[in-house]
Structure 1
Amino acid sequence: MSNTWILVADAARARLFELTRKGADPAEIACYSYPEGRSPGREQDHGRLPRVQESNSPSRHAIEPRTSLRDKHAHRFADTLSAVVQQGRQDGCYDKLILMGPPRFLGVLHDSLDEQTAARVVGEVRNDLLTLTPAQLRTHLPA
């Protein structure tokens, strides 16, 4: 069996495991934390949306943000994790990649993977499994 990396992540934390043989428990090889990923989704010091005034009328309109702060942080963390697994692929550390995490973050993570790394993804588990032990995690691996 070839080496398989298992990335278990959400928007604030990630654990990277390596599975070297079938039936064995995965071994944790790295742990990542991104505290900004726990943000409530808006600036703490500025609760109101910015306002803009039209030049030809006295009315004022709120400017809607294109993406929330929480989404921006999720994209940044996904980019960081993407760089880690891309470097592992380039170094020949694994042949297969399994992604585990909440569906929303997995979508962000999958979008940030480059084409060659995405081709190595052999399975996805759409559940938040960060707190599981390696033995418990093994039971959730795709066949």
Structure 2
Amino acid sequence: MKTWIVVVNRCEAKIFVSDRRGNKGGDVQFVEKLENPRGRLKAIDIDADRPGFMPSSNIYGGRLAKKQSPPERISEMFAKKVAARLEEARLKNAFQDLVLIAPPAFLGKVRQNFSRGLRECILKEIPKDITQTATGFDLKERIWPEEQARIEI
């Protein structure tokens, strides 16, 4: 049974795979990396503009678009890209289970874009930002710590 481990924040997503047998985690190997270089930019560096005007049929004259900070908009766009990539992989049966590791706010953004089928694949969620330090062994230890404890005893 294949488990994909997705370590993501607003700047990058790293995808790892583990062949799990029962509750034990197998070896964790790197699969791919999705990058969002605009996620590192500050609001002033992104084309920070005033919110746009949206014509509306039920409000005379229209209304202003919902105010959203430029980094939030960039972050949402990347969350959609990550969710689309995971959905594509799910449809190709690349994994059966999914482990998500992301900062709490971004975890919600990514999960919000998941289909019902993708939500059902979620095995575990860890609300932390570890994208800079994520390695195969480190992930195995974080996700299946009880297996490590049994080996050491």
Q: Same fold, TM exceeding 0.5? A: yes
Once structures 1 and 2 are overlaid, which stretch shifts more, 83-92 or 130-139? Answer: 130-139
1:135 aligns to what SS in structure 2? helix
Q: Is the 8 Å Cα contact of residues 3 and 93 (structure 1) preserved in structure 2?
A: yes
Preserved CA contact (<8 Å) 2:41 2:71: yes
More helix by share: 2
Equivalent residue, structure 1, for 2:33: 31
Q: Which runs of structure 2 are paired with 1:126-137 in the superposition (5 Å)?
A: 126-130=127-131, 131-137=133-139
Residue in 2 aligned with 1:122? 123
The residue identity in structure 2 corresponding to 1:138 is K
Q: Normalising by structure 1, what TM-score?
A: 0.80
Structure 2 vs 1, CA of residues 3 and 39 (structure 1 numbering), >3 Å: closer, same or farther?
same
Alignment partner, residue 2 of structure 2? 3
- 5 Å-filtered alignment, 1:1-143, equals 2-21=1-20, 22-44=24-46, 66-130=67-131, 131-141=133-143
Deviation above 2 Å: which 4+ runs of structure 1? 21-25, 41-46
Q: CA deviation at 1:27?
A: 0.7
Call closer, same or farther: CA 1:44–1:78 in 2, change over 3 Å.
Answer: closer
- Determine if contact 2:19/2:25 at 8 Å carries over to the other structure: no
Unaligned runs of 5+ in 1: 51-62
Cα drift, residue 69 of structure 1 = 0.7
State the superposition RMSD in angstroms: 2.2
- TM-score, scaled to structure 2: 0.75
Q: Secondary structure at the match of 1:140?
A: helix
Q: CA deviation at 1:49?
A: 5.6
Aligned-pair CA distance for 1:77? 0.6
- Please list the CA deviations of residues 2-50 of structure 1 after superposition, one character each: whole Å capped at 9, or x if unmatched: 111111000011100111133433111111110011121345566x868
Residues matched between the structures, number: 129
SS in 2 for 1:19: strand
Change in CA separation of 1:44 and 1:100 when aligned onto 2, cut-off 3 Å = closer
Unaligned 5+ residue runs, structure 2?
A: 52-63, 147-153
Contact 1:11 1:37 survives alignment (8 Å): yes
